[in-house]
């Protein structure tokens, strides 16, 4: 039985603990051992959670331990790569209500929330956060370290490169490509390619000039 450790013990980490207890493989392939967080007091005042086992910096994985990462933003990739460099392994955490279609290919360290949907023949890289009720339609492609918020709709054939942020209820139209490090604002309707490092918003979505 693997011992699952959640990176980050903040609000998202606590939510991920609840999700882990309702995901495929719980108590048959893994149990939750605890959290790691540089704030060792992150769970003070919160009951009914497993302990903070130590700081992320300096934590050394054991052979039976596996990981998921709840941390978002710019530090997410750094935290994950730090654990991998020390020999840690990440699992896909898939809520028992999520749907995965025929011929879907998926890397490691992905998180699929409740009622998330990955339709047929899509290719999902590694360490993507796909939140509750997000819908990734047929033939979509995701790179690595993308964040897809709740109720996002990716229409068939759309593509996210790496480290994009697609916020709540955004819709990406057929065959749209969102390049690396780009952001799509909440409730936007995207009908054309989003260039790397830019932010788009609105209906139809246009580039936000900083």
* Domains and their CATH numbers in the chain: 2-91 (3.40.50.20), 99-207 (2.160.10.10)
- Residue 73's pLDDT band (boundaries 50, 70, 90)? confident
What are the beta bridge partners of residue 89? Answer: none
Distance between CA atoms of residues 40 and 93, nearest Å: 24
- What is the structure's pLDDT at 210? 66
Chain segment 75-92, per-residue pLDDT in tens: 899 999 999 999 999 999
- Residue 185 is encoded by which pair of tokens? 């604002």
Chain segment 9-47, per-residue pLDDT in tens: 999 999 999 999 999 999 999 999 999 999 999 999 999
**Does the model's pTM come out above 0.85?**
yes
- DSSP annotation of 208 reads P
Contacts of 124 (CB under 8 A, 6+ apart): 104, 105, 106, 107, 110, 118, 136, 142
């Amino acid at each position: 039985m693997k011992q699952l450790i959640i990176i980050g013990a903040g609000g998202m980490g606590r939510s991920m603990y609840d999700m882990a207890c309702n995901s495929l493989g719980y108590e048959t392939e893994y149990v939750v051992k605890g959290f790691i967080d540089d704030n060792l007091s992150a769970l003070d005042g919160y009951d009914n959670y497993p302990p903070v086992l130590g700081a992320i910096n300096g934590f050394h994985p054991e052979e039976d331990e596996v990981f998921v990462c709840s941390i978002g933003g710019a530090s997410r990739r750094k935290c994950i790569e730090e654990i991998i460099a020390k020999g840690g392994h990440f699992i896909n955490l898939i809520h028992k209500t999520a749907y995965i279609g025929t011929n879907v290919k998926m890397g490691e360290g992905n998180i699929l929330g409740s009622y998330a949907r990955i339709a047929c023949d899509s290719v999902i890289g590694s360490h993507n956060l796909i939140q509750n009720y997000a819908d990734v339609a047929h033939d979509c492609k995701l790179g690595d370290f993308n964040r897809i918020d709740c109720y996002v709709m990716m229409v068939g054939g759309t593509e996210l490169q790496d480290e994009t942020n697609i916020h709540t209820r955004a819709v990406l139209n057929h065959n749209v490509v969102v390049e690396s490090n780009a952001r799509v604002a909440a409730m936007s309707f995207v009908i054309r390619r989003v260039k790397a490092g830019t932010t788009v918003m609105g209906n139809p979505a246009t580039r936000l000039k900083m």
